[in-house]
């Protein structure tokens, strides 16, 4: 596991985008595994800038998102379909039929999980999977206690996740309490993983990850089973490791 520590959120975002841009520019076809949440927003802005100012084209890029809330229509402003459309897809030249997210309003959620896993296998695996990390160590919506051999599945969101995500809704009660998420095994199929973390609220999770103790109560620790993981973080997210080292 490599760790790249940047001064701040802006340089972290630029660095992550540069890694992705380099892959797209040097390959005929790129499959990206994408994440939502606050952390990758700056990276998406930097990718859009690359498209607008340097002519980076996403016409041969395919995307597979990690997760989606259950019960939110794609038009709901807090759905991850809406997020991706708004923060990335509508601002670059990616053909929309090359973008995939789990359908959180499918009639049969178990069929949807199988369908999505099949898509991951047919389109993917991602050349680069972008991950955030929850304050509780979740990756995607694989909450503490998740099975490391899990594929795409329905999950009950942890109370700490509902609380953390309430900032996007009017009240915590509006946060959907279930989601469809790629499983940890699905995530580990990716060829390369970039885990982004920014801010002091992630410093504990980053420190715990770097302790290299594999524990299903800390889902991100499953990444130690993957051969090519890079943490792209900022100084604040690194702060607890740094203070321990004196
Ligand atoms: P955040 O979420 O980027 O909004 O902090 C990350 C996560 O919960 O995985």
Question: Residue written as tokens 């993957």?
Answer: 226
Is residue 27 annotated as part of the catalytic site, yes or no? no
Query: Is 179 in contact with 104 (CB distance < 8 Å)?
Result: yes
Supply φ then ψ for residue 4, to 5 degrees. -115, 115
pLDDT attached to residue 243: 79
pLDDT tens string, the chain, 246 residues long: the values are 999 999 999 999 999 999 999 999 999 999 999 999 999 999 999 999 999 999 999 999 999 999 999 999 999 999 999 999 999 999 999 999 999 999 999 999 999 999 999 999 999 999 999 999 999 999 999 999 999 999 999 999 999 999 999 999 999 999 999 999 999 999 999 999 999 999 999 999 999 999 999 999 999 999 999 999 999 999 999 999 977 776
What distance in angstroms lies between residue 197's CA and the mean position of ligand 1's atoms?
8
Is residue 138 annotated as part of the catalytic site, yes or no? yes
Is residue 173 annotated as part of the catalytic site, yes or no? no
Is residue 135 annotated as part of the catalytic site, yes or no? no
pLDDT attached to residue 246: 66
Question: Residue written as tokens 């100012």?
Answer: 53
What distance in angstroms lies between residue 132's CA and the mean position of ligand 1's atoms?
5
Q: Does 39 contact ligand 1 (Cβ within 6 A)?
A: yes
Q: Does 150 contact ligand 1 (Cβ within 6 A)?
A: no
Q: Whose CA is nearest to atom 2 of ligand 1?
A: 37
Q: Does 15 contact ligand 1 (Cβ within 6 A)?
A: no
Kindly report each contact of residues 39-43 with a partner whose C-beta sits within 8 Å and lies 24 or more positions away, as own/partner. 39/132, 39/196, 39/197, 39/198, 40/13, 40/16, 40/130, 40/132, 40/196, 41/13, 41/87, 42/9, 42/10, 42/12, 42/13, 42/14, 43/13, 43/16, 43/17, 43/130, 43/196
Q: Does 133 contact ligand 1 (Cβ within 6 A)?
A: yes
Question: pTM, whole model, 2 decimals?
Answer: 0.96
What distance in angstroms lies between residue 97's CA and the mean position of ligand 1's atoms?
26
What distance in angstroms lies between residue 135's CA and the mean position of ligand 1's atoms?
8
């Amino acid at each position: 596991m490599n760790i790249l520590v940047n001064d701040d959120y802006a340089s972290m975002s630029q660095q992550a985008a540069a890694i992705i841009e380099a892959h797209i520019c040097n390959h005929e076809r790129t499959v990206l595994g994408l994440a939502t949440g606050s952390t990758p927003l700056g990276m998406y802005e930097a990718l859009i800038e690359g498209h607008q100012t340097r002519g980076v084209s996403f016409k041969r890029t395919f995307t597979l998102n990690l997760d989606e809330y259950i019960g939110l229509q794609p038009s709901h402003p807090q759905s991850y379909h809406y997020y991706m459309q708004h923060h990335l897809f509508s601002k670059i030249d990616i053909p929309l039929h090359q973008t995939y997210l789990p359908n959180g309003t499918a009639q049969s959620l178990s069929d949807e999980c199988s369908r999505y896993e099949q898509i991951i296998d047919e389109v993917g695996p991602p050349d680069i999977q972008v991950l955030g990390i929850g304050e509780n160590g979740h990756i995607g919506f694989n909450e503490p206690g998740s099975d490391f051999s899990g594929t795409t599945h329905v999950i009950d969101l942890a109370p700490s996740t509902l609380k953390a995500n309430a900032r996007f809704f009017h009240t915590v009660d509006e946060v959907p309490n279930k989601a469809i998420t790629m499983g940890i095994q699905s995530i580990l199929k990716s060829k390369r993983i970039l885990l982004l973390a920014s801010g002091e609220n992630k410093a504990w999770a980053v420190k715990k990850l770097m302790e290299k103790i594999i524990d299903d109560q800390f889902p991100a620790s499953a990444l130690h089973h993957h051969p090519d993981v890079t943490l792209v973080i900022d100084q604040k997210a690194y702060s607890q490791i740094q203070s321990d080292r004196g």
